[in-house]
Structure 1
Amino acid sequence: MPQHIWKLTPREAAAQCIMPRLVPNSIQESDSSKQEIMSLIAQGIGGFCVFQGDVEYTATLIDELQKEAAIPLLFSADYEHGLTMRLEGGTDFPHAMALAQAKKPDLTYKAAVAIALEAKTIGVHWNFAPVCDINSHPENPIINIRSFAEYPSHAEQHIKEFIKGTQSQSVLACAKHFPGHGNTITDSHSALPIVHDSLTQLQQRELVPFQKAIEADVQSIMIGHLSIPALDPSGLPASLSSTIMIDLLRQHMKFKGIIITDALDMHAISKYYTSAEASILCLQAGATIALVPDNALEALDAVARKAEQDPDFYQLLVENCHLIAKAKQWCGLISEAPIAIEYSDKNRDTIVKKITSKKIALNSKTMENHAMLALDIAKQALVIHDPKNLLPISEKTSFAAFAVLDGDDQKTLDKGVAFFRVLAQTLENECDFGFINSEIEPNDAYELRDSVQAVDIIILAVFVKPMSYKGTVGLSEYLLHALDHITQDKPVIAMLLGSPYLHSYLPADAYICSYSDSLPSLSAAALTISGRATAKAWTPHDAGCFQGDHS
């Protein structure tokens, strides 16, 4: 059989169109998890979306799984600001809003190149980035600093450069979350958001970045779980809507690449549909790939059964497989995409010759260059609002610094520890450090107030950013009251190491905004406090600009 003709059973065609979750940490801890993954590969699964794990083990695992596949696997991940978004290891780049605030699109390009290179090195050839949502609502609980900007004109060039940088490394970029997740205060991980924008508003704002992404030849677009009545009055989520995926995206916007849903295990979908129902419905409505159904085997069984019973549905899957094969060829996973895909009733009738490229670990010099690039971006992204000229802090000024945490998870605590370590290295002043979150007891607040009586300044390092399933991106009234009690009449410097919008209800005398809690952003903020780095003054053109501030 010529290599460029594939023969696929309905189950194998279905399997190419489903992308389950792969959690290296779970596989290390559980033989059953690995057996489940190996079973899916034996049934012809097309690839996996990579989640939590260690970089080195993840690279080894991906290499091992590739050897088991008849058709090379396409591995994807959310590396919006680097591998650190999902893995332990890699370069931690500032978030998208920080990239845009640096106001140098060439730096966005370089960051995307570096992220793609690190991803490709571990075997991930599809980065679910850039986020093309416009953060048009300051209380959006899930987009926020993941977005480049509040206005399309501020985001467009950075979106294009991120796509170009990613795809220059033969890594697929992905514009998400179509048709726009910015103007909502609902997290689709928890519930189905309803976007009430008019068609005109959508055309002038939310859809613009996606059109620019298409013009930049983005290879894939992710569909959000959003109900948008102006586009589809039925109320269906965009990820299940043929009106949005076929009529709007394919026909009107002329997109020809891969359409992938957002994760189908998110509650916006999983509360209302089984894995079987959601997978069939999204593929029927125009998706190329059903991403992370809650139960991958249930989804595969249902889609395969539908393909066996319905020739038109099997043909739809075949068309999807052509797109997926072209993407695998584009990434360099296979040498040639098939010119035809034919029906087969025999498993593994198609064995595709894999392109074996020698694995080359990134050397220390390359990783050092990536780290320096990340720090450079972080420095250029920083903005300050300092009407009382409190910055930088002189060597004679005593201060107390508190990490204000919106939660108590280990990753957030680690960020606070990292910040204190960096601050201690950049300042030689006498100081005290501490953690505060919404669980603070009244007695603790009184004790902290008493402990800072002798200091000259209080620094609040505020770690608040969008997090899945949390539902908010702010500080509770209780915590704000406790902070007010602790700081009393002391001068306060608020370091917004995440959401820039907190200034609207967190009183302070000076603000430093980094638009990210990445390690380089923490370092840049600490250097600014010490005077070892300078930052731009906040202007009305910056995200979260000061209008009616507390100072």
Structure 2
Amino acid sequence: MKKLSDKAGELFMVGYAGTDPTAASELIRRHHVGGIILFSRNVKDAAHTWAVCKKLQELRREVSDTPLFIAIDQEGGCVARITEGVTVFPGNMALGATGSESFTRGAGRVMAGELARLGINVNFAPVLDISSNPRNPGVGARSFSSDPALVARLSSAMIRAMQEDGLCATAKHFPGLGEAKVDSHDELPVVDAAVEIMEGREFLPFYSAIEAGVAFIMTAHCAYPRLDRSGAPATLSEPILTGLLRKRMGFKGIVITDCLEMAGVEKTFTPAQSALKAAAAGANILLICHTREKQVAAIEALARSIEADPAFESAIGSSLEVISSAKNRLTGRGDAASPEFGREKNLSESIAVEATTIVRNEGPLIPLKLASSETLAVIVPGFEALTKVEENAEPQGVLVGEIKQRHPRLEYHTVAVNPTPDEMLACSVTCRSADVILILTYNLHQYPAQRDLVHALLALGKPSIVAAVRDPYDLGFIPQARACVATYSFRECSLKALVRVLFGESEARGKLPVKLG
């Protein structure tokens, strides 16, 4: 019989480099890791993802009768690891703008069905953080809303839909990151909210998720002094993970840490140190996404601690039971045959249209009424990753192509999210000779030069429409804009929906799910 210390690897979920899954061979065969997380660096498209998952489970079967957890962050919107061969939805805030449980269930069901058929059995979604702080750099449109009740209603609908298809959904980031002022990928945030306030705000969606039977809850690398006076991040806090989440809120599923290589914890502790502290605090699975040496050091440190401390051994035994129980319920659908499914584009595009929100429309300027001789100038910021959790952006060519089909007289510029003086000058020259201007913003509220560019273009006095294609908070910084639209997403479905609304082919029925301030 194996000693419990030999099973330390089962408590770890790890990432690896490159598109060849045999790169994880040593971690699976020698260190017996219990889970693998996939990123865009590992998968090219749907067919390749299926082959990767199949190979990973084959490696696992060489050393264990139970499967790997294979996880991915497929939230939709700005966080989607696979974008080729699957349906990419516009994301949580777009769903919040529809207010529709039916759309939310549909998106959850399609995402789960496609992922399960690819061999993925855990989705690190949905985000349950409340978008209560417009200046939060890490949440924004990943959240459903600034309204806790709406977040609770839609997130629980998505969780139920995802788990109907055998996938494990994940509620994140406990106990709530919405009020954070910095991104935990870069440093440790502190949320100093009173417990009474958090009960009716941050905790509400998690109570609903637990009632919905969510399989995983992911911890936040964030300190909550009113919940744990020591100042420890929730990931490493026994009062938060055991006292609050387990005992008070009654969660019986799997508690997984966010990545222990994130600066929010690694600036203070090595991943090995954090792994020990998190396991002692009540975490069941320890996530280390990137560095092989740090992964191995953490596994070996946990094994030594199990050997040395009988009390710690007992806690680890409880985690292994929770993990084993969850794995026994997995369906294993992705191991049967190569996936054959079409994109559910109609659903994603329907959601995107229903989400599109006209915030202001003086004139009205929408729908556009352009004479064939008139020129439309379009200014588009680069749709790049703004935070470390993001990977795949959408080509701006989708927007330009859709507009040209309807109005060929088009001039456009693509600029950086924080445009240079030369870019700003070029945009001004183009827009001076245009008849109508369409300006897209991409988190303008976080980029002063982008904000300056928009103000300068609006000052030209031309008929202008501003479309926020990520966080809608941008529109609160440009009160002089006569026509404003929010799409909550820059994905293909959202850009197509925007064009349909601008040219009067679809009605924008979305409602702002946040307060612009």
TM-score (norm 2): 0.91
Say if 2:59 is the partner of 1:68. Answer: yes
Say if 2:113 is the partner of 1:117. Answer: yes
Select the residue among 61, 65, 74 that pairs with 1:79.
74
The equivalent of 2:209 in structure 1 is 213
The equivalent of 1:531 in structure 2 is 504
Tell me the amino acid that sits aligned with residue 463 of structure 2: P
The equivalent of 2:4 in structure 1 is 10
Select the residue among 274, 280, 283 that pairs with 1:284.
280
* Deviations 1:324-358, CA, capped at 9 Å, x for gaps: 1111111125xxxxxxxxxxxxxxxxxxxxx9952
Number of matched pairs: 498
Task: Give unpaired runs (5+ residues) of structure 2.
Answer: none
What pairs up with 1:266-305 in 2 under 5 angstroms? 266-292=262-288, 294=291, 295-305=294-304
What pairs up with 1:59-208 in 2 under 5 angstroms? 59-69=50-60, 70-71=63-64, 72-81=67-76, 85-89=80-84, 90-208=86-204
**Distance in 2 (alpha carbons) for counterparts of 1:131 and 1:44:** 29
**Distance in 1 (alpha carbons) for counterparts of 2:140 and 2:160:** 23
The equivalent of 2:395 in structure 1 is 415
The equivalent of 2:471 in structure 1 is 499
**Distance in 2 (alpha carbons) for counterparts of 1:412 and 1:489:** 36
**Distance in 2 (alpha carbons) for counterparts of 1:416 and 1:184:** 31
**Distance in 1 (alpha carbons) for counterparts of 2:173 and 2:244:** 14
The equivalent of 1:543 in structure 2 is 513
**Distance in 2 (alpha carbons) for counterparts of 1:216 and 1:413:** 32
**Distance in 2 (alpha carbons) for counterparts of 1:83 and 1:460:** 20
Q: SS at 2:154's partner residue?
A: helix
The equivalent of 2:346 in structure 1 is 372
Tell me the amino acid that sits aligned with residue 379 of structure 1: V
The equivalent of 1:332 in structure 2 is 331
* Deviations 1:76-106, CA, capped at 9 Å, x for gaps: 1111128971124211101101112112101
Residues 83, 518 of structure 1: alpha-carbon distance in 2 compared, 3 angstrom cutoff: closer
Q: SS at 1:536's partner residue?
A: coil
TM-score (norm 1): 0.85
Residues 493, 545 of structure 1: alpha-carbon distance in 2 compared, 3 angstrom cutoff: farther
CA positional deviation for 1:376: 0.6
Residues 201, 83 of structure 1: alpha-carbon distance in 2 compared, 3 angstrom cutoff: closer
Say if 2:252 is the partner of 1:249. Answer: no
Say if 2:321 is the partner of 1:322. Answer: yes
* Deviations 1:53-96, CA, capped at 9 Å, x for gaps: 21322221221121121232110111112897112421110110
* Deviations 1:381-415, CA, capped at 9 Å, x for gaps: 11102122001112414310010237589978743
Select the residue among 367, 376, 388 that pairs with 1:392.
367
* Deviations 1:238-284, CA, capped at 9 Å, x for gaps: 00000000010100001111000111111001111112101111001
Tell me the amino acid that sits aligned with residue 389 of structure 1: P
Q: SS at 1:155's partner residue?
A: helix
CA positional deviation for 1:546: 5.5
**Distance in 2 (alpha carbons) for counterparts of 1:431 and 1:277:** 57
Asked if the contact 1:405/1:462 (under 8 Å) is kept, the reply is no
Give the CA RMSD over aligned residues: 2.3
Task: Give unpaired runs (5+ residues) of structure 1.
Answer: 1-6, 334-354, 465-472
Asked if the contact 1:12/1:45 (under 8 Å) is kept, the reply is no
**Distance in 2 (alpha carbons) for counterparts of 1:438 and 1:217:** 40
Range with bigger deviation, 410-419 or 499-508: 410-419
Select the residue among 352, 358, 362 that pairs with 2:336.
358
Residues 327, 83 of structure 1: alpha-carbon distance in 2 compared, 3 angstrom cutoff: farther
Asked if the contact 1:405/1:412 (under 8 Å) is kept, the reply is no
Residues 379, 35 of structure 1: alpha-carbon distance in 2 compared, 3 angstrom cutoff: closer
**Distance in 2 (alpha carbons) for counterparts of 1:217 and 1:183:** 26
The equivalent of 2:412 in structure 1 is 433
**Distance in 1 (alpha carbons) for counterparts of 2:276 and 2:225:** 22
Asked if the contact 1:177/1:223 (under 8 Å) is kept, the reply is yes
The equivalent of 2:378 in structure 1 is 401
CA positional deviation for 1:360: 4.7
* Deviations 1:7-34, CA, capped at 9 Å, x for gaps: 54334321110111144xx144xxxx84
**Distance in 2 (alpha carbons) for counterparts of 1:124 and 1:240:** 27
The equivalent of 2:440 in structure 1 is 461
**Distance in 2 (alpha carbons) for counterparts of 1:546 and 1:389:** 21
**Distance in 1 (alpha carbons) for counterparts of 2:267 and 2:36:** 23
Q: SS at 2:494's partner residue?
A: helix
**Distance in 2 (alpha carbons) for counterparts of 1:443 and 1:155:** 42
Asked if the contact 2:418/2:449 (under 8 Å) is kept, the reply is no
Asked if the contact 2:394/2:490 (under 8 Å) is kept, the reply is no
Residues 387, 234 of structure 1: alpha-carbon distance in 2 compared, 3 angstrom cutoff: same
Asked if the contact 1:178/1:222 (under 8 Å) is kept, the reply is yes
Q: SS at 2:188's partner residue?
A: coil
Residues 112, 142 of structure 1: alpha-carbon distance in 2 compared, 3 angstrom cutoff: same
Residues 85, 357 of structure 1: alpha-carbon distance in 2 compared, 3 angstrom cutoff: closer
**Distance in 1 (alpha carbons) for counterparts of 2:301 and 2:455:** 56
Range with bigger deviation, 131-140 or 479-488: 479-488
Range with bigger deviation, 116-125 or 476-485: 476-485
**Distance in 2 (alpha carbons) for counterparts of 1:455 and 1:302:** 64
CA positional deviation for 1:319: 1.3
